[in-house]
Amino acid sequence: MNIFILKTIKIRSYEAGLYFRDDEFRGLLGAGRHWFVDPLDKTKVEVVSLRQPWLVHEKLDVIVKSGALRDRAAVLDLKDYERALVWIDGRFSQILPPGLYAYWTALREVRVEVVDARGAAGASASAAKHAVRFEHPHLQVILQSPHVERVLDLAKVEAHHVGVLFIDGEFVATLPPGRYAFWKNLAQVKFVQEDLREAMFDVAGQDIMTADKVTLRMNAIVTYRIVDARASVSTVEDVRQTLYREAQLALRAVVGARELDTFLTEKDGVADELADMVRTRAKALGVELIAVGIRDVILPGEMKDLMNKVTEAKKAAEANLIARREETAAIRSQANTAKLLTDNPTLMRLRELEILEKISANSKLNILLGEKGLADRVVNLL
């Protein structure tokens, strides 16, 4: 008995059929109804939509090698150093890493841009390092596409910052605020952001001994700004921490060379000297030193009591001196007045009358006349 098993496959106008027999690819089937006699069930047709342009299949290499996709699809065979940018119907679709890809072109407009991530052929080593950075007129659109992180390392420089770019340990560029991308797996990329705004830090809780062996606890404040981001990144690992240590050592050197009284009377001079000592080192770090100030000076308890006593004694002496000066001035004035009254009897008589007038104005004045001589003197006085 002959058994015929007839299979029928319908392929629509926007579809294509991948025809396999015994797991071997035999070709593409176009739109229409297709009949197969398959008693042993060795025929398999996979229907794919041409509206989805990206053809994904585990046997894509076999399909491509057969030549069946010629004139029907855009085939990309990207080498290790190649990447591809794909636009579909004028809109960016995706960025592709090395590998084999196929896109149907029957129903959709597919445009492919293949990029050599090594840079131009014969380029210098410096140019090759620059080529690791991906640049494109439509970069912002490309970076918003899905799965872009598979191919690119992304970086962003915030406002008021700069990005310092190193590739394979060598400085390449200083980048302004914006978004940047770098090809993966081509080189070692290091990207460091530096803030260009003014910043400050406290040199706090410093116990420093003056030249006359008095221990002070001091707090200073340093204001700075990074002006050379490359130097600040290349010279030291942490520019802020290095600047802190420099200010700390300079503060100890400046205060340690002065006695307590000199230091307390010359705090502004100490701050200026401290700034001068730190500024040279800061410049080598790519930093502009804006200001250095002494914020707090804390004396030990016994020294504070002693200084209060000294201040109190000085103020008491000043007050005593002022009182003595005033007494001397009063005595000198009285002496001058007495001499003036002695030399001018009439003025003396007027002075006596003023005193009697003051006495009579505030109380009742009773005059008792005794001896004739006293009465005459009083009468004469009045």
pTM score, whole prediction:
0.65
- What superfamily would CATH give domain 199-298? Band 7 domain (3.30.479.30)
pLDDT at 87: 95
Q: Are 86 and 112 in contact (CB under 8 A)?
A: yes
Closest CA relative to residue 365, chosen from 373, 356, 374: 356
Stated as kind and residue range, the H or E segment containing 342 is: helix 301-343
- Residue 66 neighbours by CB under 8 Å, 6+ apart: 25, 27
What residues contact 254, with CB distance under 8 A and at least 6 apart? Answer: 270, 273, 274, 277
Q: What angle do CA 90, 85, 91 make, to 5 degrees?
A: 20
Cβ neighbours of 103 (radius 10 Å): 20
What are the start and end residues of each CATH 3.30.479.30 domain in the chain? 199-298
Mean pLDDT of the chain: 83
Q: Which residue pairs from 130-138 have beta carbons closer than 8 angstroms and sit at least 24 positions apart in sequence?
A: 130/172, 130/173, 132/167, 132/182, 132/183, 132/186, 132/187, 132/189, 133/165, 133/172, 133/173, 133/180, 133/181, 133/182, 133/183, 134/181, 134/182, 134/183, 136/85, 138/92
21 backbone dihedrals φ, ψ, rounded to 5°:
-135, 125
Nearest C-alpha neighbor of 76 from the set 93, 51, 50, 54: 54
Distances (CA, A) of 124 to 49, 148, 169, 212: 46, 28, 17, 64
Tell me the percentage of the chain whose pLDDT exceeds 70.
81
How sure is the predictor about 3, in pLDDT bands with cuts at 50, 70 and 90? low
Cα separation values, 77 from 82, 102, 193, 310, Å = 9, 9, 37, 91
Q: Is 41 left (phi over 0), alpha (psi -120 to 50) or beta?
A: left
pLDDT one-digit tens code per residue, 196-240: 999 999 888 778 887 877 778 888 899 999 999 999 998 888 999
Quickly list DSSP for 174-219.
Answer: EE-SEEEEEETTSS-EEEEEEE-S-EEEEEEEEEEE-TTS-EEEEE
CA angle 160, 162, 165 (to 5 degrees): 165
Question: Could you read off the pLDDT of 116-151 as tens digits, one per residue?
Answer: 887 654 445 555 666 788 999 999 999 998 889 989
Query: What's the length of the chain?
Result: 382
In this structure, what DSSP letter does residue 227 have?
S
Percent of the chain beyond pLDDT 90?
Answer: 42
User: Which has the minimum average pLDDT: 36-45, 114-123, 142-151, 245-254?
Assistant: 114-123
